[in-house]
């Protein structure tokens, strides 16, 4: 069965970086793009970007340009999202989600369990 | 401030029909298809409607979507207690070159 398993909760100080992983299983890793979406406590969903694990092509939300880097490791079927220069406003649950091959660019079918990143001095 | 505008809350009684609106712009909903997500408490979002009015396998036909111009709506008929959740609309935005979400609508089943 398809699964996306994310790394555990992280605590960082302002100005630091965090790298969240999303390990895929149950399907051909390189055949599906992965979205990253975050949700601050009590707030709505915010799209961060998307990566094609086959080749590593990325597209980032303008808001995060220069601060976010998404990568993939085909040997371990894992995608990574690294966010730098962290601020308290980056405190959120970060989700990875698979984009199906049908349904359009904004569609998703499987989600990771979410990773809480807390930024606090 | 979200790019897509939704009412913060909606409510209905069991069996009722409720609609949730989503307003965008010419670069978002006006040029691209609309998606709806359901988020139950403390869970990851789930795709409810894609490409304006298509339901993924397993989503009950009580849920339906529509789009007109730069706005869209999600309708839920035969409201059930388990429909109590947050609902988000989403679309691609050509100006921002990215996915944009509405601020979310909290649906309460009275």
Q: Could you read off the pLDDT tens digit of each residue along chain B, which spans 110 residues? A: 788 999 999 999 999 999 999 999 999 999 999 999 999 999 999 999 999 999 999 999 999 999 999 999 999 999 999 999 999 999 999 999 999 999 999 999 99
Cβ-based contacts of A106 with chain B (< 8 Å): 33, 35, 50, 90-92, 99
For A28-66, how does the pLDDT look when each residue is reduced to its tens digit (9 = 90+)? 999 999 999 999 999 999 999 999 999 999 999 999 989
3-state secondary structure chain B: CCCEECCCEEEECCCCCEEEEEECCCCCCCCCCEEEEEECCCCCCEEEEECCCECCCCCCCCEEEEEECCEEEEEECCCCHHHCEEEEEEEEECCCCEEEEECCEEEEEC
- Choose the closest CB to B44 out of A103, A104, A111: A111
Please tell me which residue of chain B has the smallest CA distance to A93: B44
As a whole-number percent, the residues of chain A with pLDDT over 90 amount to 97
- In the predicted structure, residue A72 carries a pLDDT above the cut 90: yes
For residue B10, the distance in angstroms to the closest alpha carbon of chain A comes to: 16
Nearest neighbour of A45 by CB, restricted to B33, B45, B91: B45
Task: Name the average pLDDT for chain A.
Answer: 97
């Amino acid at each position: 069965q398809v699964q996306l398993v994310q790394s555990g909760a992280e605590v960082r100080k302002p100005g630091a970086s965090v790298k969240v992983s999303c390990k895929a299983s149950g399907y051909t890793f390189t055949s599906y793009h992965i979205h990253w979406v975050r949700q601050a406590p009590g707030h709505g969903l915010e799209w961060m970007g998307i990566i094609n694990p086959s080749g590593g092509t990325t597209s980032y939300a303008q808001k995060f340009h220069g601060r976010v880097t998404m990568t993939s490791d085909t040997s371990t079927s894992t995608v990574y999202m690294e966010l730098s220069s962290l601020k308290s406003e980056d405190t959120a649950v970060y989700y990875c989600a698979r984009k199906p091959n049908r349904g359009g660019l904004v569609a998703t079918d499987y989600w990771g369990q979410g990773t809480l990143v807390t930024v606090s001095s | 401030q979200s790019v897509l505008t939704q009412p913060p809350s909606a409510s209905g009684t069991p069996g009722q029909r409720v609609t949730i609106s989503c307003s965008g712009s010419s670069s978002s909903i006006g040029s691209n298809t609309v998606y709806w997500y359901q988020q139950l408490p403390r869970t990851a979002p789930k795709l409810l409607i894609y490409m304006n009015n298509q339901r993924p396998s397993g989503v009950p036909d009580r849920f339906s979507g529509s789009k007109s111009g730069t706005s869209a709506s999600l309708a839920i008929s035969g409201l059930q207690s388990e429909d109590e959740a947050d609902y988000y609309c989403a679309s691609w935005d050509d100006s921002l070159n990215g996915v944009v979400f509405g601020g979310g609508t909290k649906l309460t089943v009275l």
